[in-house]
Structure 1
Amino acid sequence: MKDDNTRNMILAFALSLLVLLGWQFLVVNPRVEQERLKQAAEQVAAPRGTTAPQTNTAAPGAPPVPTSPGAAPAPVNPSPTGVLTREAALAAGPRVAINTARLQGSLSLKGGRIDDLKLTGYRETVDPGSPLITLFSPSGTAAAFYAETGVVGAAGSGMPGADTLWRQEGSGALSPSTPVTLVYDNGKGQQFRRTYAVDDAYMFTINEEVRNTGSDTLTLYPYGLVSRHGTPKVAGFYILHEGLIGVLGQAGLKEYTYADIKKASQYTEKATGGWVGITDKYWAATIIPEQAEAVQGRFNASGAGAGEIYQADVLGSARTLAPASTITFSHRVFAGAKEVTVVDNYRTTLGIDRFDLLIDWGWFYFLTKPLFWIIDYFFHVFGNFGWSIILVTVLIKAVFYPLANKSYESMSRMKKVQPEMVALRERYPDDKMKQQQEMMELYKREKINPLSGCLPVLIQIPVFFALYKVIFVSIEMRHAPFIGWIKDLSAPDPTNLFTLFGLIPVQMPEFLQMGAWPIIMGVTMFIQMKMNPDPPDPVQKTMFTWMPVIFTFMLASFPAGLVIYWAWNNLLSVTQQYMMMRKQGVKVELWDNIASMFGKSAEKKS
């Protein structure tokens, strides 16, 4: 009867797995593909860059919300679909080149926007010939994304906006050693000077000056914004935030996904200093006011379908510009890769409030970030993140060695008395209460903790999750190779058992992705499970037997670096447990346990 129950359990598990795979392949995947095609069609069919300016929704007596700065200019020479190519948009008006070691692009003299940026240190794939990562694109293109600063006043005051054509003083490109100044005269008595500077990483500093030679006194509000047109494709992982983000005073870190801000329409918060922006997994653009400035931060979503616009902006305090006077203010714009050392350095040297939270370290921040620094340290020693992860795994095992040793000692004792446990179950087959009482007496007599076997797994969970965050979130792991076929530790193992590791030239569905490293991990986990004493309950025994198979399928889609850590950790655990069992005088009957699973005996092997 026991064998029948076990077979039924295995059969039920196999059928359940088959149903899940079938549902994924026949229902979920076609739906996802259909939705993707629908979104792609909408992206092409609907024009961008023609959205009407946002109306002023501020309450009476409140400072005005920037309207003209938030509106996209009408497209120039639009393509037949109404969407400009990036090349056409860049050629539509005069520009000033941006050239640094990490950035290349341009800022537009029309509107004074930073709307053309590529990251020279990052490419779309591991192929060194693949295109550079494009961060910013001008309004009117299929993926418009840009930053803008300026000043806003009452209607008709002649403040420069998105359509204003600025003039460059002098000539030359914007670089870390050569700032660029733009000038504009509105013909109403106000002159504007805007000076752009950029460092050797990803931070722009924009100093603005407004001079009043007229006879009227004006009230002006400085603003800065980051705007994105259309909903971008996101990774869609719960542990990773992509969308609008910022730190606004006492409100602290605020995060809105694109779906969330569409539902809320708008979020505002008054603060001193702080920053707001839009973040992707590895890249971000933020607007940073002067940190002593009282501002109103805002996240906003407008439009619908392919005409959606997402915006993060700050509106500064009112400035009175009297005749024959001048006002000055400044903003900073971060636009680039979320490199840990760079982001941390900006927080420290520029005093930007909690700017390091731009990187999503998660709830285990206190564990995740130190773990990154340790891995990064060994990377600079060995020059390879894979070997660094392996060495950190050894260090983690060393830290938890005493606790794990106690656990393995208790498990070894349990393994030693397993014949007595079997005898107790046979002696009281129908009296579960008596059976449990005798078991507890046995545990007490032999100083066995039946829950100790869970400790090695439990103590790994926070570390496992923290390492997952490090590998998944930190850009330093992106496209980081290991050895052999692993060219990117942040991506799943590219090999596949179901294609005989590349011998069969066919593209398998994602849920059938089963690389070599996940299989190695599964084998090491299986060996570790078979070294443990069998659970007394046959159903539990079956579950533990098939757990390595389930974990192998689960981790097949995880980053290769995480799977390598888990496999190496299992191997170290097996070694530690083997040594403890030998110390306790327990025979390691690994083959017996494995063979019994298939109805064989150890004697048959011998």
Structure 2
Amino acid sequence: MEKQRNLILAVALMGLLLIGWDYGIAYFYPHPKNAPVAAASAPAAVPASSGPPAKPTREGGLVAPDDIALEQRDLAQALGAGNRVAIDAPGLKGSINLVGGVVDDLTLARHRETIAKNSAPVRLFSPAGTPAQHFAQVGWLGQNGVVAPNGQTLFTADGTKLTPATPVTLKWTNPSGQTFALRYAIDDNYMLTVTQSVSNAAPGAVSVAPFARINRTDKTMSQDTWQVHSGPIGAFDGSVNFSNNYTDVAKTGTISPAGQANWLGFTDIYWLSALIPADGSKPTSDFRSLGNNLFAADLIWPATAVAPGQTQSQTVRLFAGAKENNVLEAYEQQGVTHLSLSIDWGWFRWFEKPIFWLLDSLFKAVKNFGLAIILLTLLVRGIMFPVAQRQFASMAAMRALQPKMKAIQERHKDDKALQQQEIMKLYKEERVNPLAGCLPIFLQIPVFFALYKVLVLTIEMRHQPFVLWIRDLSAPDPLHVLNLFGLLPFTPPSFLGIGVLAIILGVTMWAQFKLQPSAMDPAQQQVMGLMPWMMMFVMAPFASGLLIYWITSNLLTIAQQRYLYSRHPQLKAQATKDQPTPAARTTITAKPKKK
């Protein structure tokens, strides 16, 4: 009767976990109602969204339909107004606005919004006043009455297109005789270098304070979770700071992180915009809330006196692009401190980064990330195979000790402490480690977690196809059994969204548990029999790549167990012997008869 209660309790807890998991996934990982839209023709005027803000999606971008439509109209209007210098580089496309000299129009040439072939490139920067506002401004603060350019100043340019081979300089001269210049250069990836200079043709010295700023809305932020940071970010005195989010800045007004800024800006799960001061310069830095969901990351240098006939220059770099690990590490080689750690690897990056490097290397060799995941699984299980052999040898030794252990238990059944001491003494005399069977599981946990983080964090996995219907390994299996693989016009809730991969996972886990050599009582066996199917539901919303890893690992475990059973036939014989008889199962499940 007690075993029946335990079984019912276990089933109830599994059901609660299943339903709770679905609600948790829906809360923390909502799906956008509409896919983000880059540019397009201007639609009819649509009012901005009202009411509480929509929850951010995993990748970020506008969520409210009103905001998406308004962004289309405002973006087309702003970019069609003219007064722009085109940006045409292998990594970035867009334009610089001559009004204010700001970089406010950037799309990422190597990344698309969706997996559709005709999908627009990811838009990172949008002009001020648009719902997806995000731009960078470099300028000066005039001191003692000096008139410096501002956001409404119209600069003139010495070129019409900024490319890696053709820098562009913007200039403006104030009525007092000071000429302010911004020289923009760009590389093949995501880095712009801005040299800001002031030439003084007046008879007296003037003083100006250079500044650089990134301005953005949090409406386009990606989800900020315990494992992936989204929001203000920076490196200060050589240490990357993930501790602030938009809510903190909005509540405080201004946050000035301790230490000298190596770089600072804003991050999403895949994208980063960051200001990088030149080596040796010592600007102050802060994050500010501007109200109305707008935020700024600032660098402000000390005021500099410019003598008559002299020119003062200041250089700052702007990273605006995708967090591609090899690109970030290349910038680190160029002196940008820990830029690759803008990818939120967490405490275990010492293990996650090698897994990522290995997976990326395999991908470059085979040109398919799904196949690379399978090869990674083969390598991991191959490395751990000697451990598995020792595990089975230990289990065989434990089987041989069963008669002696039962004798000890019977002899000291009234003294549990002494019973345990005698059993531990037996283990020591026979040189048997009862925990050896757990070692392969413990060794696989960090690999599984590292692969999970790699799939969640790294843009290299984004939109990577495998075979057939698996077109994005970083996303869940798109086919659902309950809607007949898309034939019926509805989307099941995530805990019922069982796809083909989830079913294969459940079947392979069930087959693996059937081969387990450890003896269990019938109630435990029934609970373990339910476990694969519960895990099938729990894992269904996870990234397809993670399910492929687990399925491959299960298949290798089954093959490995069959091989090792052939090497230890006494273990297989004992496992078969320990299986409960039909009569025993009936005894557990049948209701007791009334006397």
TM-score past 0.5 threshold: yes
Task: Report what 1:167 is aligned to.
Answer: 156
Rate the CA distance shift 1:424–1:545 in 2: closer, same or farther, 3 A.
farther
Q: Do the aligned partners of residues 378 and 21 (structure 1) sit closer, same or farther apart at CA in structure 2, a change above 3 Å counting?
A: closer
8 Å CA contact 1:489–1:560 kept in 2: the answer is yes
Change (3 A) 1:436 1:552: farther
- Matches of residues 194-209 of structure 1 in structure 2 within 5 Å? 194-209=182-197
State yes or no: 1:339 paired with 2:362. no
Distance 2:526 2:239 in 1: 50
% identical aligned pairs: 37
Counterpart in the other structure of 2:251: 263
In 2, the alpha carbon distance for the partners of 1:416 and 1:191 equals: 90
1:176 is aligned to 164
Gaps (5+ residues) in structure 2?
Answer: 35-45, 52-66, 587-595
Tell me the TM-score normalised to structure 2 length.
0.84
Q: Following TM superposition, by how much is the alpha carbon of 1:594 offset from its aligned partner in structure 2, in angstroms?
A: 8.3
1:207-218 paired onto structure 2 within 5 Å: 207-218=195-206
- Quote the residue 1:62 is aligned against: none
Cα separation, partners in 2 of 1:598 and 1:364, compared to 1, 3 Å: farther
CA distance in 1, matches of 2:511, 2:423: 26
Does residue 1:398 correspond to 2:382, yes or no? yes
Match of 1:294 in 2: 282
Q: How does 1:266-285 map to 2 (within 5 A)?
A: 266-269=254-257, 271-272=259-260, 274-285=262-273
Contact 1:84 1:140 in 2 (8 A): no
2:10 to 10, 13, 18: 13
**2:449 is equivalent to residue 465 of structure 1:** yes
The offset of 1:9, in angstroms, is: 3.0
The answer to whether the 8 A contact 1:385-1:482 is kept is yes
* Map of 1:486 onto structure 2: 470
Alignment pair present for 1:134 and 2:139: no
CA distance in structure 2 between the partners assigned to 1:249 and 1:389 by the alignment: 37
Which is bigger in relative contact order (C-alpha 8 A, separation at least 6)?
A: 2
- Tell me, yes or no, if the aligned pair for 1:228 and 1:310 is still in contact at 8 Å: yes
Instruction: Give yes or no for contact 1:95–1:108 (8 Å, CA) kept in 2.
Output: yes
Unaligned runs of 5+ in 1: 47-77, 602-606
Q: Distance in 2 between matches of 1:81 and 1:394?
A: 50
SS for the counterpart of 2:465 is coil
Distance 2:537 2:164 in 1: 49
Aligned amino acid, residue 224 of structure 1: A
TM-score by length of 1: 0.82
The range that moved more, 562-571 or 592-601, is 592-601
For residues 354-433 of structure 1, the aligned pairs below 5 Å read 354-415=338-399
Equivalents in 1 of 2:546, 2:583: separation in Å?
Answer: 31
Farther off after superposition, 463-472 or 505-514: 505-514
Number of residue pairs matched by the alignment? 559
Aligned mates of 2:69, 2:352 — CA distance in 1: 49
**Aligned position for 2:180:** 192
Contact 2:113 2:122 in 1 (8 A): yes
Q: Partners of 1:5 and 1:548 in 2: how far apart?
A: 24
Q: CA deviation at 1:574?
A: 2.7
Aligned residue number for residue 330 of structure 1: 315
Matching residue of 2:302: 317
Letter in 1 for 2:49: V
What is the rounded CA distance, in whole Å, between the counterparts of 2:583 and 2:199 in structure 1? 87
Residues 146 and 207 in structure 2, CA contact (< 8 A), matched pair in contact too = no
Q: How does 1:523-602 map to 2 (within 5 A)?
A: 523-534=507-518, 543-586=527-570, 588=572
One-letter amino acid of the counterpart of residue 214, structure 1: A
Question: How far did residue 376 of structure 1 move?
Answer: 1.2
Contact 1:477 1:490 in 2 (8 A): yes
Tell me by how many angstroms 1:148 deviates.
Answer: 1.2
CA-to-aligned-CA distance 1:194-216 (integer Å, 9 cap, x gap): 11111111111111210111234
Q: Is the 8 A contact 1:418 1:533 kept in 2?
A: no
Distance 1:309 1:34, change over 3 A: same
Amino acid at match of 1:402: P
* TM-fit CA distance, 1:155: 6.4
Partner letter of residue 85 of structure 1? D
Residue identity matched to 1:261: V
Check the 8 A contact 2:233/2:240 in 1, yes or no.
no
Alignment check: 8 A CA contact 1:243 1:280 kept: yes
> Residue 87 of structure 1 aligns with which residue?
76
Deviation per residue, 1:236-290 (Å, 9 max, x gap): 4321111111112155434422223223332214655611111111111111110
Cα distance, 1:493 vs structure 2: 1.6
Give the RMSD, CA atoms, in angstroms.
3.6
- Letter of the 1:312 partner, please give it: A
| C-alpha separation in 2, matches of 1:470 and 1:571 | 22
Partner of 1:72: none
Question: Pick from 82, 103, 112: which aligns with 2:92?
Answer: 103
CA contact (8 A) 1:193 1:208 kept: yes
Which residue does 2:61 correspond to in 1?
A: none
- After superposition, residues 35-114 of structure 1 pair within 5 angstroms as 44-45=49-50, 85-114=74-103
Moved more, 440-449 or 572-581: 440-449
Conserved in 2, the CA contact under 8 Å of 1:278 and 1:285? yes
- CA contact under 8 A between 2:464 and 2:473: conserved in structure 1? yes
Displacement after TM superposition at 1:115 (Å): 0.5
Contact 1:410/1:447 (<8 A) preserved: no
Query: 2:99–2:153: 8 Å Cα contact kept in structure 1?
Result: yes
Question: C-alpha displacement at 1:425, in angstroms?
Answer: 7.6
Given that 1:97 and 1:105 are in contact with CA atoms closer than 8 Å, whether structure 2 keeps it comes out as yes
Partners of 1:312 and 1:466 in 2: CA distance: 31
Q: Deviations over 1:68-88 (max 9, x none)?
A: xxxxxxxxxx99989962111
Selected match of 2:503 from 508, 519, 528:
519
Aligned: 1:222 with 2:210: yes
- Alpha-carbon distance between aligned partners in 1 of 2:100 and 2:479, rounded to the nearest angstrom: 49
Q: CA–CA distance in 1 between the matches of 2:554 and 2:24?
A: 36
2:93 touches 2:107 (CA, 8 Å); kept in 1?
yes
Quick one: distance in 1 between partners of 2:408 and 2:48? 69
Q: CA deviation at 1:159?
A: 0.8
- 1:238 paired with 2:226, answer yes
Question: Structure 1 counterpart of 2:9, which letter?
Answer: A
